[in-house]
Amino acid sequence: DAGVIQSPRHEVTEMGQEVTLRCKPISGHDYLFWYRQTMMRGLELLIYFNNNVPIDDSGMPEDRFSAKMPNASFSTLKIQPSEPRDSAVYFCASSRTGGQNTEAFFGQGTRLTVV
Amino acid sequence: AQSVAQPEDQVNVAEGNPLTVKCTYSVSGNPYLFWYVQYPNRGLQFLLKYITGDNLVKGSYGFEAEFNKSQTSFHLKKPSALVSDSALYFCAVRDHTGRRALTFGSGTRLQVQP
């Protein structure tokens, strides 16, 4: 398996623009997580899904952020409008239910810069 | 609420010496504990986990970690450090309830000097 695939790897956008980050989880994984990494706040959970249904979105900073998972193999994280403080590395991760297979596998991340 | 503390921002060790990266946790009930490593401009890579059973768990690249329930700790260790081990290390925890998301520590930068 190719692992968790995120696109784009880098995104530079102007303040006020819409940004969409994409994630393809590992096939067969039923959990998908979005995390954000910054120097100041470390790794923060934004939202996670189980079987395409959002379970916990309490980490989503504000209404400018939204996430969807239309099917088991694709998820998006959208920021509209973007602000400079949204600059961070955004990671997608996936894991599967069952037994002791509880670890999450991470994608390479999308480095977002809002200018 | 669950939490993880990594008390050292950076650990410096000479190549060939043993290394320890510290982690303590707080969780309701029994924990699932994890270590991840992050190399520059890369995602997090899973190293090892404690679910149940033996308190000493072995993982990738010669790393191991010891679960200590009384001290609520899960320190990462390696008998002989390599320069290539230099990276950012994260400890993470989740509980045995339905909440699947991991809570991460702030990370410890390991610097192995030749």
Query: What pLDDT digit, counting tens, does each position of A45-96 carry?
Result: 999 999 999 999 999 988 999 999 999 999 999 999 999 999 999 999 999 8
Q: Which two tokens stand for residue A72?
A: 């088991």
* Residue A27 binned pLDDT confidence (cut-offs 50, 70, 90): very high
Q: Which two tokens stand for residue B97?
A: 């309830």
Question: pLDDT digit string (tens) for B57-70?
Answer: 999 999 999 999 99
| C-alpha to C-alpha distance for A14 and A3, rounded to whole angstroms | 30
> Given this model, what pLDDT does residue B44 score?
94
Q: Which residues of chain B have pLDDT under 70?
A: none
* Neighbouring C-beta atoms of residue A95, cutoff 10 Å: 24
- List the single residue in A48, A106, A109 with the smallest CB-CB distance to B100: A48
B5 touches chain A (CB under 8 A): no
Q: Provide the shortest C-alpha distance from residue B43 to chain A (in Å).
A: 4
Q: Which two tokens stand for residue B87?
A: 């990276």
